[in-house]
Chain A
Amino acid sequence: MTACAPADARARMLALVPAGASASEERRRFVTGFFRRGGFPTRKDEDWRFSGFGALGRIRFQLVDAGSGVVEPWPGETAGEAVLVGGVPAEPALSPPGVRVESFRADAAPEDLFDRDPDGTLRPALPVFLADARDRLHRPGLDLAACFRHPLEMLNAGLFTGGAAVRVAAGVDSGPVLLRSVRGEDAGGAPGMLHPRFLVTLEPRSRATVIEIHEGRHASRQGWTNPSTVVRIGSGARLDYLRLSTETGGGSHTGRTTFHLDRDARVKSTVLSLGRMRHRHDATAVFRGEGSSASLNGLFVGAGRERAEHHTLVVHAARHATSRQLYKAVLADEARTVFDGQVVVAPGAAGSDASQSNRNLLLSDGARAHTQPRLEIHADDVKCAHGAAIGRLDEDALFYLRSRGLGALDSRDLLVEGFAGEIVEGVADERARTLTAASLARVRGRGR
């Protein structure tokens, strides 16, 4: 690893912000802000206590290249598609009727890629409503703005070289839209980093299925992918969101998806972390309209020394919103998982209904699971519950299956499949299901 001092890291990162591009001055400010806040988070930061990413600060990254840019087509039926290789558009985007799908380079990024404060300042992924609602929501002990201080989001906003945007017109049903980001190649042998940026907008009463895919191979274990997706769901609109990361090569993947929901908007999100990586995904849902609802789900299947962290933050900032969370992990060998879920019910958010559940299956002695389901509640007319369970396969269930004539191995596989099935069943995409099945096959026979 080539080491370099923090000041050096900052200068290098700043140099990578595309000069002359739109808002490049503001984007430099994000990078500066990132370093001013302490740079790469370490284990000493509460939200990063199991796996800090401080070591990234010592790597001399270069942005990845598009490379040869050969991308295999995604099997199955798709209505729209945008493909990025090495963070920049690889082929023209495909838009179904009533839907605008575009891929862009940083200098031609859409106007609404960022939120702006009333004074015109750009904000990465910080909801617009927050600026005016902050005072209303602020009570001692509730620092809502702090919830959004995700340091790596700042770097993405500063350094992205390209991305893709989807806009579904009011009342339109989009069908499946694919957003694919392929890793690309490391430039000049230096460890590569990739910061793709996605924006999904659903106008009122529209419906969409969006599948976000991160694929490709990291050339070295120092590789890093740091994608960011912001989703705005208009009133009465419905989104089915699937996020699939299948990157390999043992580098780091730190992704975020942030949903902003208007009145009666609904989202169902499924995050499948199947890559052979050091993985972290932060899912955030902010209810800004009454009656909105979100269902956040996730699955990690890990073997070897892989690890995945799923962090969630659900902010009930409007009344009568409903949130459901279900995250699961199947762990073999020395795989590790972290679930850190947080539900915040803001003052006045009456009728909030939140539940949160985390289940982890440990298949071997070296596997580790850490769970932290947090509730922070500042209103009294609420229904909140959370649950967590960590354990190995149920002996009774195994016995039952064996007594019905199934072999030991088959019984275990069946139980593991059933465990993962609760997440995967709702996924329509054929390829995603195949990939999950393949991941499960890797841990086959590891159950004790």
Chain B
Amino acid sequence: MPETQRTLGSAEVEQLVARDYAYGFVTDIETEKAPKGLSEDVIRLISAKKEEPEWMLEWRLRAYAAWQEMKEPVWAKVSYEPIAYDDIYYYAAPKSAVEDGPKSLDDIDPELRRTYEKLGIPLVEQQRLAGVAVDAVFDSVSVATTFKEKLSEMGVIFCSFSEAVKEHPELVRKYLGSVVPHSDNFFACLNSAVFSDGSFVYVPKGVRCPMELSTYFRINASETGQFERTLIVADEGSYVSYLEGCTAPMRDENQLHAAVVELVALEGARIKYSTVQNWYPGDENGVGGIYNFVTKRGKCAGDRSHISWTQVETGSAITWKYPSCILLGDHSIGEFHSIALTANRQQADTGTKMIHIGRNTRSTIISKGISAGHGQNTYRGQVRVLPGASGARNFSQCDSLLIGAHAGAHTVPYIDVANPDTQLEHEASTSRIGEDQLFYCRQRGLDPEEAVSLIVNGFARDVLSELPMEFAVEAQKLLDVSLEGAVG
């Protein structure tokens, strides 16, 4: 899309601009699109394109019917221009991928390969480098999946969602919507109606997934909403760690992203889900940027199951995201570790819900919010203990760091307890970077930016340490990049 290339000012001006988006570029690939706007016909088209069975289409249509009855939620502490849902393309696929799917990495459109290289996904090297299988999502259709065979030897299914619908319909049918129903909320509902693709993971009984599974999300074609759907099922006694990272090209119009992630952990299973979100946040005046409205929810369905969410949110103009755990099984555990950074004009309303239903369930919430510039950062979370959840334990810690007099940090925890045999603690603090800390660092020869970066990384360490190694490095770098120019 050459017409959406951003218009550059003079090079000098460009250098002065506080926070340049390092990953801003648009790949020129012919895109196959559905007409703008949403209707039953568009949904039928999406479903037909993906050669879905009848039940899948019906499910989408039910979601669409429910969505039409719903109103866009306004309770989050974010403000943005109204979204014209009729002015969005709900389906786009890179043509080359649709016409004949790649047989190997060599079959991939070279343009696409270059995009990945710029993003730093070492797809070509993936097979040699140990440990990470990539289901790369480029504009809604999976174009490359690696390490599939190796995984399938162990019975692990890791494929694109559309593939799963075709090849494992019994699993998809059983678990799709079991955690986030088709009528859950406005954005999840929209996703259920029009989701284009995503990832599907099934780990069979007793299997410890031998590698960390990873997906890179990428928004590319202009004016295309991206509606990913991820479903991860960990059968009894299994373990899987899943990484999700994303970045998007620089562009001027706001893009809508409404993803849904569902996790199901059966008895004794453990799912670790990590996200680094680095979408285009808009420029320093708040122009452009991704609207990120995500519904993520995990169900600890079996006893002693364990779901842990870790997220580093540095991108997006608007973030609306509450990765949650339904602690249904006895002795199940939910964890939420989050870093949310808002700089410039970014707004984030994020947090978690821990719903304690089973006995002796435990949950931990660690949230670190960092606001710089005019950023507005809200932690919104709920800890709910139902009458049957005897022995429930929760610990929540929500800290906020303010950088600059115009930043805002808000904490809105909801704590609802209906069982006396509960131990629940919530702590929160808000402060700015200490002058003495800065002074100390500068006295040791660090410049102000390095000093702030050091302090911020220390502040966020509890969460960073939860991330898998390669993500931790990226996340730390992201924090630094995101704060550039915010200090001083």
Residues of A within 8 A of B (CB): 46, 139-142, 347-348, 350, 360, 362-365, 367-392, 448
Contact = CB atoms under 8 A, between A and B. Distances in A.
A365 B417 contact: no
21 contacts: A348-B405, A365-B420, A368-B416, A368-B418, A369-B416, A370-B415, A371-B414, A371-B426, A372-B412, A373-B411, A374-B410, A375-B428, A377-B409, A380-B402, A380-B407, A381-B432, A383-B429, A385-B428, A387-B425, A387-B428, A390-B422
Contacts of A369: 415-417
B402 A388 contact: no
A338 B76 CA distance: 21
Given A377-B400, A388-B425, A347 B406 contact: yes
B114 to A, nearest CB: 40
B417 A370 contact: yes
A365 B426 contact: no
A387 B413 contact: no
Contacts of B415: 369-372, 388, 390
A380 B405 contact: yes
B420 A386 contact: no
Contacts of B424: 388-391
Contact of A384 (B406, B416, B429): B429
A89 B13 CA distance: 73
A364 B387 CA distance: 11
Given A362-B417, A382-B432, 10 more contacts: A139-B406, A140-B79, A348-B405, A370-B414, A371-B417, A373-B428, A374-B413, A375-B428, A378-B408, A383-B430
Nearest to B399: A385
B412 A380 contact: no
Contacts of A390: 415, 417, 422, 424
A380 B408 CA distance: 8
Nearest to B376: A141
B404 interface: yes
Nearest to A367: B420
A415 to B, nearest CB: 14
Contacts of B417: 360, 362, 368-371, 390
A46 B414 CA distance: 12
A384 B426 contact: no
Nearest to A332: B420
A290 B262 CA distance: 50
Contact of A392 (B75, B405, B421, B431): B421
Contact of B75 (A46, A347, A367, A373): A46
Interface string B387-405: 1000000000000101111
Contact of B431 (A368, A372, A376, A382): A382
A391 B423 CA distance: 5
A388 B416 contact: no
A350 B431 CA distance: 11
A377 B75 contact: no
8 closest A-B pairs (Cβ-Cβ)? A362-B420, A380-B402, A371-B415, A384-B430, A388-B426, A380-B432, A375-B411, A390-B417
A372 B402 CA distance: 22
Contacts of B410: 374-377
Given A386-B411, A389-B424, A375 B430 contact: yes
Given A387-B425, A389-B425, A389-B426, A365 B408 contact: no
A385 B404 CA distance: 19
Interface of B: 75, 77, 79, 376, 387, 400, 402-432
Contacts of B421: 392
A371 B409 CA distance: 19
A315 B432 CA distance: 19
B428 A386 contact: yes
B176 to A, nearest CB: 31
A376 B387 CA distance: 31
B426 A364 contact: no
Nearest to B384: A370
A25 B75 CA distance: 36
A140 B78 CA distance: 9
B403 A392 contact: no
A363 B430 CA distance: 33
A368 B424 CA distance: 13
A379 B426 contact: no
B430 A392 contact: no
A386 B409 CA distance: 13
A367 B419 CA distance: 7
A375 B79 CA distance: 18
B427 A391 contact: no
A387 B426 contact: yes
A365 B388 CA distance: 10
A311 to B, nearest CB: 14
Contacts of B400: 375, 377
Nearest to A389: B425
Nearest to A140: B79
Contacts of A448: 420
A173 B8 CA distance: 69
A328 to B, nearest CB: 14
B422 A375 contact: no
B351 to A, nearest CB: 12
A362 B412 contact: no
Output the residue of A375, A376, A385 with the most chain B CB within 10 A. A375
Nearest to B435: A381
Contacts of B79: 140-141
Output the residue of B75, B410, B422, B429 with the most chain A CB within 10 A. B410
Given A371-B426, A374-B410, A388-B413, A347 B405 contact: yes
A363 B417 CA distance: 12
Contacts of A370: 414-417
Nearest to A378: B408
A171 B14 CA distance: 62
A290 to B, nearest CB: 17
Contacts of A363: 420
B82 to A, nearest CB: 16
Contacts of A373: 411, 413, 426, 428
Contacts of A374: 410-413
Given A365-B387, A374-B410, A385 B429 contact: yes
B406 A362 contact: no
B427 A387 contact: yes
A270 B407 CA distance: 33
B405 A385 contact: no
A389 B395 CA distance: 9
Contacts of B426: 371, 373, 386-389
Contacts of B75: 46
A201 B425 CA distance: 39
